[in-house]
Structure 1
Amino acid sequence: MKNDRSIDHPINFKDGRRYYDPEEDQESSEVPRIQSAQQHQTHLDSIFMLLEENIVTFVKNELKKIQKVVSSDDPECLESQREDEEVLDGEDEEQRRSSREAFVKITMHFLRRMKQEGLADCLQSSKWISLKI
């Protein structure tokens, strides 16, 4: 049988000081680090959820535009596509153009992987793509 003597009790001195146990201090300092790491992870999770929403919205919108382009090479369709674009300042426009260019390349890559060479070629040779990129 065990008794209470096997339990470590803190040592209190007459002048009010307490025995210092480094292991006990280390355990208490771990709690704020764990909480901080959890808060950081929660913050990262929130950022990436928002990032995912933004990317999915961008992809859906761009795919709709690309679908219009490959389904109709009609000049009126291209003109209305230009009118739908919002006017941005130079830097934003450059970023948008760069994003579109990358997305079109990714789309063509996936179309080719799906053995849809005709659609990929149509997209690559499209007048709209050359106007937008």
Structure 2
Amino acid sequence: MADQRVAGVDAAGGALGLAGAVLLTATCAAATYRASAAGDVASVGFVIVSYGALLLLLRFLREYELLAPPEAAVRREGLRRRVWALCTLLTLIFAWKVASVMTWPGVAVGVWAAAVVTSAGGFVLLFRQQRRRL
């Protein structure tokens, strides 16, 4: 019964995931084209790194979901580390982009502080908090 439920979710999620990936690719291609046409090398780099990191993050999350806990505890731990690193990378590059357009320095500092607190909180929740046993 559980296998049928998972298969149904995979079929529905697969089509939705594919549509999302196509839309993400199209928007990233358009943003890269506009930024390169304007000569904005930093924005081109931002889009390319964000796109690559997001695709890797989605791949690792999917792989993490599909692993069975008892057999693959070491592999899941490695995937958890990769997911946290990619989330931290995305948080920091988005904070860099947002903080660069802030006119008030205090707001930019707040953006960076929020990024650091978010990444540190994710680290604590993923690696340092004791896992409850069911």
Q: What is the TM-score normalised by the length of structure 2?
A: 0.29
Bigger relative CO (Cα 8 Å, ≥ 6 apart): 1
Q: Which has the larger radius of gyration?
A: 1
Larger relative helix fraction: 2
Q: What is the TM-score normalised by the length of structure 1?
A: 0.29
